[in-house]
Amino acid sequence: MSTIVGSGEFTYRVEEGWGKLPDGWSLGDVGGVAVDAQDRVYVFNRGGHPMVIFDRDGNFLKSWGEGMFQRPHSISMAPDETIYCVDEGNHCVYRCTLGGEVLFTLGTPGEAAPEFSGKPFNRPTQVALSPEGDIYVADGYGNARVHKFSPDGQHILSWGEYGTDPGQFNIVHNISCDSAGRVYVADRENHRIQVFDGDGRFIEQWNNLHRACGLTMVNPDDPIFFIGELGPFLAIHRRYPNLGPRVSIVDRHGRLQARLGGPHAGTEPGTFIAPHTGAVDSRGDLYIGEVSHSAWETVFQTPKPAFVRSLQKFSKVQA
């Protein structure tokens, strides 16, 4: 029997076992997922084959990026179907063709800006593009900044600092931009999404989230967001229910539409361990990648098994 999750317009069937890898391959942690115009699914992961590509039915097509990346963190599909690959471990962003050719690089691979300096980059996390093609980079683990670049990679401005006030960050982990130029930032350890204009001026923030990690936007004119939330990780509250891991679906004002996942972390279909990234295809099907391998022992307090699921597909149930 199929597992059905979500509610209302956001009801999905879990496609158990989706994604057929060649014998002997595994994905490891999935940092990023993106979908192209043909609904091919690009999975940026920390296994031996960093970019693994499937068709929408989960058949393996090809891979690339072997030996190129240090620690894959996220990917973003541009309107021209180039793909931005954020390599946290190499402190840089690669703009690539869909076949893996590097077109240009932001940052110097392997060279980090001084930690906490606010200068690009120290362990960046995600890229978003403005309607004009400007590039926003969330930066990230070693900084508390958003950097804005022109389409050809010239630095324009930066904003953010450590803290909990509006415009401050505590792990700026994900970023997206709508067709009006508003910039949405997943401020992970402040448990919120912050919204800015294109020059970094604070507009509003959304709360009622737990460790907002993933931030997938669809329909840029009237956005819907799929927010991957990490669960509790301290011993004192690790067993508390309803804190994630889960995926919350909200509208452009941060109003909750639906949630996916159970009251606790799990390995059953439709539950999550550490939802880190997502993508939606042309039919409304949802793909969620998880950093399950890294999170396993913290979440479950047991040794990690030989197989850990880090990618799920949810097919939209049409009304």
Backbone angles phi, psi at 260, to 5 degrees: -115, 145
Domain CATH code at residue 169: 2.120.10.30
Instruction: Give the C-alpha separation, 294 to 306, whole Å.
Output: 13
Instruction: Give the C-alpha separation, 319 to 8, whole Å.
Output: 8
Residue 257 is which amino acid? Q
Residue 173 confidence (pLDDT):
98
Q: Cβ-count burial of 297 within 10 angstroms (0-12 exposed, 13-18 middle, 19+ buried)? A: exposed
- Per-residue pLDDT of 161-196, as tens digits, reads 999 999 999 999 999 999 999 999 999 999 999 999
| Average pLDDT for 197-225 | 97
* Boundaries of domain holding 181: 4-316
Residue 319 confidence (pLDDT):
72
| Average pLDDT for 24-50 | 97
- Per-residue pLDDT of 103-144, as tens digits, reads 999 999 999 999 999 999 999 999 999 999 999 999 999 999
pTM above 0.75, yes or no: yes
- Per-residue pLDDT of 71-85, as tens digits, reads 999 999 999 999 999
Residue 318 confidence (pLDDT):
86
Residue 269 confidence (pLDDT):
96
Domains of the chain: total: 1
Number of H helices, E strands in the chain: 1, 25
- Model confidence at 3: pLDDT above 80: yes
Instruction: Give the C-alpha separation, 43 to 54, whole Å.
Output: 8
Residue 1 confidence (pLDDT):
75
